[in-house]
């Protein structure tokens, strides 16, 4: 089963605002599984699209896309992609066993252009008639009304009955579809990305992780997990406040300690993460 993912930048509200429409499309049936307006097509907005499709439908066989930098590493502009250097999107799909196929042919781009020509001709008029002027309202309209309408008009029956989606079980999609960065733990048991700093608490099985390499997983909802091997050694909100990591004690404390003490033991972010998709 092959899915297409592409984006189209347009003035969808017929004013001076530009947004990208990201669509995930079934190659065989032209059925739309996802379509949402975002500020810009990026690693995080593409991950959000793929995560929703996998959550709702299941794992599929392959994804066909252009060669944008959030999909592939391309050593030379316009040249072949490097399939050995994975982007964040490539790493997430590899964990799920989904093949990535880069588009090289003009015919493939022509199909996307024709598809988005249909969107650009229809959706702005529908949004105007419905009195919709915000991205939030537009995305709700797309989910509830317009995607089903597009599928009724343009989807074709499959050549064979059934589908090839495979249910995803036992895999943490929140972590798979996160932006993951490897870092070495400092002597004071902290890790840093730029001006953001996280304090790792002592664990029952190791007093300090100083000198160890951990993975910082920034989830799409802004939360952060720090992972060492199979262990999650820290969970934090988007602003940097610690969340309890299992197993948590039943009494009302902050990650196993009274709140006042917990505030003293965790390093806050030096500046609050924006949480925006980039």
Question: Does residue 98 sit within a domain?
Answer: yes
21 shares its domain with 135: yes
255 shares its domain with 216: yes
3-state secondary structure of 160: coil
Number of domains in the chain: 2
150 shares its domain with 15: yes
Asked whether 200 and 209 are in contact (CB, 8 A), the reply is: yes
Question: Does residue 110 sit within a domain?
Answer: yes
Question: Does residue 78 sit within a domain?
Answer: yes
- pLDDT of 162 reads 63
Asked whether 50 and 24 are in contact (CB, 8 A), the reply is: yes
Alpha-carbon distance of 210 to 188, in angstroms, equals: 7
41 shares its domain with 146: yes
Q: What is the pTM of this model?
A: 0.83
Give per-10-residue mean pLDDT for the chain (278 aa).
Answer: 94 98 94 97 98 96 94 87 94 96 78 88 97 98 96 86 82 96 96 92 89 97 94 90 59 36 42 40
Question: Does residue 271 sit within a domain?
Answer: no
Question: Does residue 173 sit within a domain?
Answer: no
213 shares its domain with 81: no
183 shares its domain with 143: no
146 shares its domain with 197: no
Read off the tokens for 24: 């995930």
Q: How many CA atoms lie within 13 A of 268 on its CB side?
A: 8
Alpha-carbon distance of 230 to 198, in angstroms, equals: 19
Asked whether 100 and 203 are in contact (CB, 8 A), the reply is: no
Question: Does residue 166 sit within a domain?
Answer: no
Beta pairing, strands 99-102 & 62-65: parallel
- pLDDT of 267 reads 47
184 shares its domain with 149: no
118 shares its domain with 229: no
7 shares its domain with 114: yes
31 shares its domain with 110: yes
- pLDDT of 68 reads 93
Residue-number span of the structural domain to which 244 is assigned: 178-265
Question: Does residue 277 sit within a domain?
Answer: no
Burial class (CB in 10 A: 0-12, 13-18, 19+), 37: buried
Question: Does residue 55 sit within a domain?
Answer: yes
- pLDDT of 108 reads 65
Burial class (CB in 10 A: 0-12, 13-18, 19+), 259: exposed
Alpha-carbon distance of 66 to 95, in angstroms, equals: 20
CB atoms near residue 188 (< 10 Å): 11
Beta pairing, strands 196-199 & 242-243: unpaired
- What percentage of the chain carries pLDDT values higher than 90? 68
Q: Which of 107, 138, 154 is the last residue of a domain?
A: 154
Q: What is the CATH number of the domain that holds 56?
A: 3.30.420.10
CA-to-CA dists, residue 98 to 59, 86, 95, 112, 118, angstroms:
7, 13, 8, 21, 29
203 shares its domain with 121: no
- pLDDT of 75 reads 87
- pLDDT of 245 reads 53
Asked whether 178 and 225 are in contact (CB, 8 A), the reply is: yes
Read off the tokens for 86: 């994975």
């Amino acid at each position: 089963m092959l899915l297409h993912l592409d984006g189209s930048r347009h003035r969808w509200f017929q004013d001076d605002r530009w947004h990208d429409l990201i669509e995930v499309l079934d190659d065989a049936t032209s059925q739309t599984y996802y379509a949402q307006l975002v500020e810009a097509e990026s690693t995080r907005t593409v991950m959000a699209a793929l995560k929703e499709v996998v959550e709702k439908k299941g794992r599929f066989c392959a994804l066909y896309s252009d060669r944008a930098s959030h999909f592939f590493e391309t050593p030379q502009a316009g040249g072949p992609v490097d399939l050995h250097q994975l982007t964040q999107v490539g790493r997430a799909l590899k964990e799920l066993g989904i093949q990535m196929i880069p588009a090289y042919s003009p015919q493939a781009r022509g199909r996307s252009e024709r598809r988005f020509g249909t969107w650009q001709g229809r959706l702005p008029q529908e949004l105007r008639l419905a009195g919709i002027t915000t991205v939030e309202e537009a995305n709700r309209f797309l989910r509830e009304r317009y995607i089903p309408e597009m599928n009724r008009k343009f989807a074709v029956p499959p050549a064979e009955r059934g589908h090839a989606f495979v249910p995803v079980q036992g895999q943490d999609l929140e972590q798979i579809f996160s932006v993951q960065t490897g870092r070495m733990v400092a002597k004071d048991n902290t890790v840093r990305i730029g001006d953001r700093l996280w304090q790792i608490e002592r664990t029952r099985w190791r007093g300090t992780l100083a000198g160890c390499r951990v993975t910082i997983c920034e989830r799409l909802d802004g939360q952060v997990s720090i992972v060492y091997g199979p262990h999650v050694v820290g969970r934090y909100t988007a602003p940097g406040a610690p969340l309890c990591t299992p197993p948590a004690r039943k009494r009302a404390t902050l990650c196993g300690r009274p709140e006042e003490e917990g505030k003293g033991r965790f390093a806050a972010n030096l500046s609050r993460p924006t949480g925006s998709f980039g």
